[in-house]
Amino acid sequence: MTERTAIVTGAARGIGAAVAARLAADGYAVAVVDLDEGSTSATVEAIRAADGRAVGIGADVADEQQVAAAVQRTVDELGAPTILVNNAGILRDNLLFKMSVDDWDAVLNVHLRGAFLMSRAVQTHQVAAEWGRIVNLSSTSALGNRGQANYAAAKAGMQGFTKTLAIELGRYNVTANAIAPGFIETEMTAATARRVGLEPEEFFALAAKEIPVGRTGTPADIAAAASFFCSEEAGFVSGQVLYVAGGPRA
């Protein structure tokens, strides 16, 4: 296999960083994209320390010009990208009657507009190569979650977006799949814990009691799923949503 290039958005920390590191370990060159280029340095340095190839790129995935520039820089420094992991996301949780229009728009813009702009830019290179992998991050919140009307709508939208990409791009040997994580231990969930007045460890322990496998997830769990979807062996798997949540979610 000739070396392939991947782009992972929201890759400065958490799930995105774990996915970027795993793809680099799988042999791909990786563009580590996040809002602030400086924040990508730890992920990039870790990949390079393990003899991988990586570049950090700062870009707002909801901005069309910045997306175009990020993809072009990836081409220039690592090669044409044929793997894309749309992981970038934010939270602006609140009950519906308290949710502002700005908080609604911000979440939908980063998750859905960002995935659209990145996928549209990268598919050009995938079609030219007649090979590609797109992995979109959804969530168990796509099934509904109190205080997350914006996030749930965005993550449900990611599933429909994924299935449509699979239909449109399949003829070019490009697959599109989604991963829907359950409770994953990240800085984001730790911040949620503190917001509700709990220490992260206490919050994680309470969450684990509701999960059939008896533990919360880690970014590495999601990275393993992304690794499979990006592999040669997954070429006949497309349009699927994989719930990585330690059990079924009603």
**3-state class (DSSP) for residue 231:** coil
Give how far Cα 115 sits from Cα of 101, 121, 147, 160, Å: 20, 10, 23, 12
Closest residue by Cα to residue 192 from 97, 92, 124: 92
151 annotated active-site? yes
The residue length of the chain stands at 250
Q: Are 40 and 12 in contact (CB under 8 A)?
A: yes
Angle at which helices 14-25 and 219-229 cross, to 10°: 50
Tokens linked to 89: 């996301």
Q: Are 142 and 180 in contact (CB under 8 A)?
A: yes
49: Cβ–Cβ under 8 A, 6 or more apart, which residues? none
Q: How far apart are CA 17 and CA 12, in angstroms?
A: 5
- Which of 3, 44, 5 is closest to 133 using CA atoms? 5
Catalytic residue among 28, 151, 172, 243: 151
Q: Dihedral, CA atoms, 222, 220, 7, 63, nearest 10 degrees?
A: 70
Residues identified as active-site: 151
